[in-house]
Amino acid sequence: MELMKLEIVTPNGVIFDNEVRQVTLPGSEGEFGVLPKHATLVSLLETGVIEIIKADGKKVAVAINSGYVKVDEEKTTCIVDGAVALSGEGTDLAKALNEAKELLKKAESSSTVIAAAVSKVESIGKTL
Amino acid sequence: MANLKEIKRKIGSVKNTAKTTNAMKLVSSAKLRRTEELAKRSRVYAAKLTELLNEIAQKMQQANVDGLDNVYFKEVSKPKTVDIVFITADKGLCGGFNAQTIKRVSQLISDYKAQDVKVRLRAVGRKGVDYFKFNDIELNNEVIGLSAAPDYAQAAEFINEIADSYVNGETDRIILVHNGYVNMITQEIKQDQLLPIHPSKLELKETSTSEMEVEPDDDDTLLDALVKRYVEYTMYYSLIDSLAAEHSARMQAMDAATNNAKEMVKSLTVQYNKARQEAITTELIEIISGMESMK
């Protein structure tokens, strides 16, 4: 399985920095998936959820309010304003879900985008 | 005798000073640790943002043989107006921290004056504001309280106003001066050109020579958003950096002051003992000579 590097950086520090198989990003022109060896791309990110499939096949989701992404062949860098990670293991999922919803609700986007993002967080919360 | 009392009083007051300066040092070192942590976390973000912007700028430069055409990158060869944004502390008692920044700003002003360039000053921090007001130098903007407690929204509001005047063509260059944190014992004056952005010619990675897709690809939405964010964040980061430097400078200054005070207490104690001994000797001589005269 081919892997690529993914970094998610917020003003409060790096929240994700690891090898991943695949990542799905909420671009401003629509959601798009990135696999290793993707062509170079720079995009604005909308309020939404970044879905990650890690090297071991586990899924992780990160709720974000807005930001930028820079993709090249071996590395994807997300520069976001605010982010809350949602993962199935270890941490208090219910608390993280609430934090994620709070973050999304405060985002400066249209209410439909926020509503879509919140419902997505909820459905992810059930699957994790 | 009056001398003895005088010295004793002095010792007491110097001891009190030492206590105060020591307390200030402890407070600063605690605050420094917190600010340093904040700075460390924001540094990664700032670095990534700059990296991305540089890459886009380089791409644009490659596409445009005559140099960059975008307003944010276009360098004016002969600027008519230059805005200098500088950050000082709100409080003193931190050694040469504020003086260094003020000195650099004054030097910049005289340099630009020599070239017949109009300079507009934008001050953050009470010390800088006070200095230039006292010297009757006009300040276009002044913000007090922001350098002691950096706040993103406030910093963004402050800098956006200045950035707008750049975009409108009122000013040709924005320079940011602050005293930055290097480590616990060193601060360094940092002078950055905020706008127009200098694409650093340092490295052009081989991997990035491929074609770049940009979304949304209509006009300059992405670039505008990115530059705005870059300007805001640079301002915010400079504030944090300056605050960390302020605390480290104050820590040093207060450490030196405490040591000096202790030194002074020592020498005053020696003086006190000498004076006391002298008084005893004088008394003894008086008694003995009195006895001798009775014989």
Are B35 and B103 members of one domain? Answer: yes
B131 and B244 together in one domain: yes
Assess whether B177 and B204 both reside in one domain.
Answer: yes
What was the ipTM of the complex prediction? 0.80
Same domain (yes/no): B100, B146 = yes
Q: What is the pLDDT of residue A93?
A: 72
Task: State whether residue A13 sits within 8 Å of chain B by CB.
Answer: yes
Can you give the CATH number for the domain in which B119 is found? 3.40.1380.10
CA distance A43 to A79: 10
Q: Do B45 and A68 touch (CB under 8 A)?
A: no
pLDDT tens for each residue of A20-36? 999 999 988 889 999 99
Question: Do B10 and B41 sit in the same domain of this protein?
Answer: no
Q: Which of B207, B213, B226 sits opposite A73 (nearest CB)?
A: B207
CA-wise closest residue to A71 among A35, A96, A121: A35
CA distance to A50, A62, A63, B269, per residue, from A84 (Å): 10, 6, 5, 61
**B119 and B46 in one domain?**
yes
Together in a domain, B68 and B189: yes
**How confident is the model over A78-114, as pLDDT tens digits?**
999 888 888 766 567 777 787 888 888 777 777 888 8
How many domains does chain B fold into? 2
Axis crossing angle, helix B152-167 with helix B221-294, rounded to the nearest 10: 120
A12 touches chain B (CB under 8 A): yes
* Same domain? B245 vs B284: no
Q: Tell me, yes or no, if A99 comes closer than 8 A to chain B by beta carbon.
A: no
Q: Do B135 and B88 have their domain in common?
A: yes
Active-site annotation holder among B39, B53, B68, B94: B94
Residues B75-112: tens digit of each pLDDT: 777 888 999 999 999 988 888 899 999 999 999 999 99
Give residue B109's pLDDT.
93
Determine contact, residues A45/A78, Cβ cutoff 8 Å.
Answer: yes
Angle between helices A93-106 and A111-127 (to 10 degrees): 170
Q: Are residues B32 and B98 in the same domain?
A: yes
d(CA B87, CA B242): 7
Global pTM value: 0.84
Q: What is the DSSP letter of B209?
A: G
Between A50 and A123, the more confident residue is A50
B27: its two tokens: 């407070």
Among chain B residues, CA nearest to A70: B52
Residue B31 has pLDDT above 90, yes or no: yes
For residue B52, the chain A residue with the least C-alpha distance is A70
Q: Does B192 participate in catalysis according to the annotation?
A: no
Contacts of B111 (CB under 8 A, 6+ apart): none
Distances (CA, A) of A82 to A48, A85, B12, B134, B261: 11, 10, 53, 42, 48
A102, A44 Cβ separation under 8 angstroms = no
Residues B235 and B174 in one domain: yes
A31 in B contact zone (CB under 8 Å): no
* Distances, alpha carbon B230 to alpha carbons B20, B54, B120, B252, in Å: 41, 11, 22, 32
Tell me, yes or no, if A108 comes closer than 8 A to chain B by beta carbon. Answer: no
Q: Measuring CA to CA, how many Å separate B127 from each of B90, B131, B239?
A: 6, 6, 15
Nearest chain B Cα distance for residue A15, angstroms: 10
Interface subset of A 59-88, CB within 8 angstroms of B? 68, 70, 72-74, 77, 79
CATH code at B265? 1.10.287.80
Supply B220's token pair. 């300059």
pLDDT digits (tens, 9 = 90+) for B198-243: 766 545 554 445 567 777 766 577 788 888 888 999 999 999 999 9
Which range marks the domain in which residue B273 is found?
2-20+254-294
- Set out the domains of chain A in order of their start, with CATH numbers: 4-127 (2.60.15.10)
Find the helix packing angle between B126-134 and B97-114, rounded to 10°. Answer: 50
